[in-house]
Amino acid sequence: MAEPYTILNVMGPYREPRESALSFDYSIQRPNWPTPQGIRVKIGLEEELDVLKTNIMQLSGGTAGQQLRVNQILGRAIGDRKLEIANEENFFNERRDVMIDPFTGTLAHLFPRLESWMHQEQDKLRQDIKETVGL
């Protein structure tokens, strides 16, 4: 059973050194926690962001600034969904500082849930990008 949580703050995206990934730092609070906890969510550039951006949404073109903004919007959406999946899987029930890696390797079994969400949300994400970025 997933426990409720509140996202207090999100910082990022950051480019991970020596990795092909972006990361977002979340500060979350649960009703039974005395203080907020930090969680870093990594988004694999090729394995997650490009799958959504290129394969599913088929976005291309735009200026460098527009592409940067698209990556920020999609990366944050992926990060939020990965945080939900991690909560459903009880990743941060007992631990205090948690790192959620890209859904590859040992976490590859979680990628189909993320990919299913990508297909479901593509129209909403496309509308957000159209309104915000103009693509």
Residue 45, number of CB atoms within 10 A of its CB: 19
Percent of the chain with pLDDT over 70: 96
133, two tokens: 């970025």
In the prediction, which pLDDT does 74 show? 97
Cβ(40)–Cβ(99) below 8 Å:
yes
* Residue 49 within a domain: yes
DSSP collapsed to 3 states, 54-69: HHHCCCCCCCHHHHHH
Q: What pTM does this model have? A: 0.94
Query: Domain range spanning residue 63?
Result: 6-132
Q: What is the pLDDT of residues 63-74, one digit of tens each?
A: 999 999 999 999
Q: Categorize the per-residue pLDDT at 135 as very low, low, confident or very high, splitting at 50, 70 and 90.
A: confident
Q: How many distinct structural domains can be found in the chain?
A: 1
* Residue 71 within a domain: yes
* Residue 1 within a domain: no
3-state secondary structure of 97: coil
The vertex-3 CA angle with 86 and 47, nearest 5°, equals 15
